[in-house]
Amino acid sequence: MRSLSIEGTWVHEPKVFPDERGSFHEWFREPDFAAAAGHPLRLAQANCSVSSRGTLRGVHFADVPPGQAKYVKCVRGAILDVVVDIRVGSPTYRQWEIVRLDDVDHHSVYLSEGLGHAFLALTDDATVVYLCSEGYAPTREHGIHPLDPDLAIDWPADITPILSPKDSAAPTLAEAEERGMLPRYEDCVSYRDQLGARRES
């Protein structure tokens, strides 16, 4: 588990063992995860999405507490996975980081509660699976427009993004902040501290 530039995010880079039959790798290891995150992964829901090239999903996030942490992997094709720091008061507020996830290197990304998440499919039939710490709760889940010019996420210029009607109608980050929709950094850190305390008790 390697830390990314935004606090509360990591990338898992497993060793892949190829042979004439195919390949094998461990895409999740609880001891490594807990050592990095400070608590075990709470698994409440597992999702799978299949996207055509150019599909852009996000930026999605949930109210904290409890938020929704995600452990994301691309099992077929390739995507650009994006973590956006939307936590008001965070040292890296408004910053984002892109990680390529594909079926060659088999990297995974973990983003903790309160962070925004989006991805762009680089291939047809890009298949993404993600483990979620909380189940789907529509009244607590929100979105920010992934093409917000103030965020200026560096999406590839040669791919025309395909957005859902819901994501197309999402507010900008500034609008979401004005409406009081965004999680506060201190609440996110406090919630994660509670998860770590439960592990130790």
Q: What are phi and psi of 69, to 5 degrees?
A: -75, 150
- Do 118 and 163 touch, CB atoms closer than 8 A? no
- The pair of three-digit structure tokens given for residue 38, joined into one six-digit string: 């400070």
Catalytic residue among 60, 106, 142, 145: 60
Which residue in 182, 173, 154, 167 sits closest to 58, CA to CA? Answer: 167
71 flagged as catalytic: no
β-pair partners for 165:
none
39 flagged as catalytic: no
CA angle centred on 172, ends 183 and 50, rounded to 5°: 85
Listed in sequence order, the DSSP H helices in the chain are 30-37, 165-168, 173-178, 185-200
How long is the chain? Answer: 201
- Do 37 and 110 touch, CB atoms closer than 8 A? yes
CA angle centred on 34, ends 121 and 61, rounded to 5°: 40
| Upstream peptide bond of 138 is cis (omega within 30 degrees of 0) | no
Catalytic residue among 12, 110, 117, 130: 130
CA 38 to chain CA centroid, Å, is 18
Catalytic residues: 60, 130
